[in-house]
Amino acid sequence: MTILVAGGTGLVGSAIVRELERVNKKVIGISSKDVDLLDRANTFSYINNLKPEVIIDAAAKVGGIGGNNLYPVEFLTQNIQIQSNLMDAAHSVKVKKFVFLSSSCIYPRDCPQPIKEEYVMTGKLEETNSAYAIAKLAGMELIKSYRKEYGYNWISVMPTNIYGPNDNFDLETSHVFPAMIRKFSDAEENNSKSVTLWGSGNPLREFLHTDDLAKAIICCLEQYDSDEQINIGTGVDISIKDLAHKISAAVNFTGSVNWDASRHDGTPQKVLDIKKITKLGWKPTITLDQGIASTVEWYQKNK
């Protein structure tokens, strides 16, 4: 059985490929260098030639609050094109199982916490990333539609904020976790006395190591079959301010931290209810402190 991982060189996709190889599965990880998923004809040609039995879609245009807020057209249109081209191509060769990676930003901005799967589309989205959220909602709806019309065992999984090796550490386009590692590492290396971070530091976020996510996705691949998305997270949140303290300590930065309150905070709190996936037998194993230490080490070796 051939498993195709789209986005196979990115943060999440590379972890999925590593885990599938570890459990001796036949896996092919692809990136835009192999096939441009924005090109519908090339996507169909590639999938028709390969004819995989399983596709895991970890390919997407992603970014932090800044990128999402500045380029909503690109985040909306490109993600819709990527996922619909891949799903339609999968349908053309009757792929048995398709796993679509959505995003926890699809939940309402002011959602009750922890966030249950049934809370989707029950309130207004966070405006700073609403375009990306709409694209992911469209992908989830397409999964449900293919299940309904063709009886496929296709699913949507809902990861929380992910971090780990192979992340994007570019300060213009990265998420908060890698951006902090980059800023504090640069400050320590340059003997800077202070670091300025976005927002107030008060929002609460949940962070899951990409290796734990990879194991969860394989668990869902083997055991989950429903048209409702399934949350994947830790069930535990931390303030952005406390996260900054942990990361600054991990890189031995001893200067001060300033907060630029003119920058967007985003959603006030976001932590997922993970009862459904833990009932399948999965649970996270990498603590936040362990994950910070290993990710800092990876960044400093690979920067």
Assess whether 152 carries a catalytic annotation. Answer: no
Pairing of strands 238-239, 204-205: antiparallel
Q: Are 236 and 77 in contact (CB under 8 A)?
A: no
The token pair at 88 is: 């339609």
Selected catalytic residue, list 71, 107, 119, 132: 132
Q: What pairing do the DSSP bridges indicate for beta strands 97-101 and 230-232? A: unpaired
- The DSSP element (H or E) to which 135 belongs, if any, is helix 130-150
Amino acid at 70: L
Determine the Cα–Cα distance for residues 152 and 92; give it in Å rounded to an integer.
12
The rounded distance, in Å, linking the Cα atoms of 247 and 182 is 10
User: Between helices 288-302 and 240-250, what is the axis angle to 10°?
Assistant: 50
Contact between 291 and 209 (Cβ < 8 Å) = yes
Classify residue 286 by burial, with Cβ atoms within 10 Å: 0-12, 13-18, 19+.
Answer: middle
CA 181 to CA 171: how far, in whole Å? 10
Residues with catalytic function: 132
